[in-house]
Structure 1
Amino acid sequence: MNTNQRYFIELAYNGTAYHGWQVQQNAVSVQELLNKALSTILRQPIETTGCGRTDTGVHAKEFFAHFDAPLSPEGGVSVLESTPFRGLGGLNALLPYDIAIKNVIPVHADAHARFDATARSYQYHIHFNKDPFLQGASWQLRDVPNLDLMNQAAAIMMDYIDFSCFSKSNTQVKTNNCKITCAEWVKTDNGIAFHITADRFLRNMVRAIVGTLMMIGREELKPEGIREIIESKNRSNAGTSVPACGLYLTEVKYPYPLTP
């Protein structure tokens, strides 16, 4: 008999103050603070599993994690639902201003925040005029790159699945294959933004892609040149990773509905 109820927790965070999502030995992470808050609410150790890992300084407008909470011995509802939880207020009160809980959703026992995700979307934001309100939230550039050329190269990327050239070195993964279904630059009120969706992403992949596309936007490389970079499978041939401040995880999709 299962004595736990599994939950998905939906959150958003400004990653400026954190060394990414995942618990670190000598640095503060989003996962560490979330685990502590849930453990305080439930009065026992709680460990969360995230839908992925964001790097230091990267933001998330939508992020999911799962955790298990014990069922009440009397049956019926879980300990989480039987405590004075008062919706999300108690949990949010224990977290700093830059981490916000949106939903806590009961799911089936085998639901997995990371392995069940079918698509993830990121945005990378760039602005061109000095703006104190965009400091830490977007990357400021002086010169506007050529969006048409960058979009030509972005479309070419969708012809490939092996993106070893955009992966952080010495990363232990079984495969560097990813299926990109959307990759495009758009104009925004403050500048430009890169939108990308794939079934999975490699470590540092989006920031390396943006850095490579910027080379094309500055006309240092023709759009077709991205083929040679991808086919080389060599990280040193791709562009420099852009700063973390402009990167946002914006959407994570699952094959089942997530409703409170």
Structure 2
Amino acid sequence: MLLALDIGNSNIVIGASENGNWRHQWRIQTDTEKTADEYVVLFNSLFSEEDLTFDKFDQIIISSVVPQLTQIISEMFEKKSHTEALILNGEVETGLAIKRVNRKSIGADLIADAVGAYELFKDDCIVVDFGTATTVMAVRTPGEFIGGSICAGLKVTIDALVGKTAQLSQIPLEPPKQVIGGSTMEAMQSGLVLGHLCMIEGLVDRMQKQLGGSAKVIATGGLSEKIAEHTDYFDVIDPMLTLDGLRLIMKRQEA
């Protein structure tokens, strides 16, 4: 059984796959203060709810943008499952060409997204990942990751604004009924949520021009389903894209 982990700045997304199908998925909060022993307890609890144990996994792949957790979690799994985890980075063979981007600096999650998206479309495509950062990345036929844009994530932007705005404690992550907000709350929803979407749409438009105008667009990430429903720019919304990319990469290691 395969275990895939995407360690992000806000959440760790985990999937257990068997015979190419996702049997179980979990999402937990990223906590760099937890020790290895505390993560053992946490994962034991998650697995036991699904009648799983560490030693059920003979394949483990990790995508991480949190270096201080990469070693802790990979060593934990090696000790408990007796399986060495594959740590995804720009040097791992993924099936995609990476020529124009610095392999040492590219985020592992972006690689996984690109692999998953190109496998789905087999054509020029753009991946929008709504996470702690909102990323917009492009893949060109016949399978070359060519780069993209990294923006402040919507929740990060909202938290930063709320921290400077004493009168507002929380802004719902949804657009107002009209772009012209009738209250301070609605005006902030318009500027933040709709403004974020306008930014994404603008970046996608510009990337489409660079790619020739017919690239497929896919949305993923923790906020993808909540935010992407308010625009018609996406051909597919798939919160599992990153894990699917990790599963494909591990399958290609076997080949």
TM-score (norm 2): 0.28
Instruction: Choose between structure 1 and 2: higher helix proportion.
Output: 2
Structure with the greater alpha carbon radius of gyration: 1
